[in-house]
Amino acid sequence: MANTATVTLRTVAGEGLVFEGRVPGGEPIVMDSGETPAGPSPVEMLLIALGGCAGMDVIAILRKKRQVVLFYEVVLTGERKPDHPRRFTRIEVVHRVRGHDLKPAAIEEAIRLSDTKYCSVHATIAPDVEIVSRYEIIPA
């Protein structure tokens, strides 16, 4: 049997285009059309999914390489076509890392492994979207 993932989305009554998403055993996630501040839009959720997937991989790999990371964030910027369905054409992923004696080669390898081997979100969208990853080391 194949691995599957199931989520459920329901509209929030009286809230316009607001949906509440749930995963089995998890907290609800509110998603919005982008017209109200209830939550991220579906395309923002896609960026969040990619960033979360990549970030979890990169941090796990850096820990295995005994890199001491004090701060990490991943910033994603997506470029979209102007016409509907306004899909992403390019996504820039910037990994920002601060730590003690960080080795650039370790960060580069962690990002490469996430991009090419581990991140299923990246693997799902990369055939149709240019994804460019880079990193910045923030001075400690």
DSSP letter string, 31-91: EE-SSSTTS--HHHHHHHHHHHHHHHHHHHHHHHTT-EEEEEEEEEEEEE-SSTT--EEEE
pLDDT of residue 15: 66
pLDDT of residue 26: 84
pLDDT of residue 90: 98
Positions in the chain short of pLDDT 50:
1
pLDDT of residue 1: 47
pTM for the predicted model, two decimal places: 0.91
Longest CA span, the chain: 53
Residue 118 dihedral angles phi and psi, to the nearest 5°:
-105, -40
DSSP 135: E
Identify the architecture of domain 42-137 in CATH: 2-Layer Sandwich (3.30)
pLDDT of residue 140: 78
pLDDT of residue 2: 66
In the chain, ranges of CATH 3.30.300.20 domains: 42-137
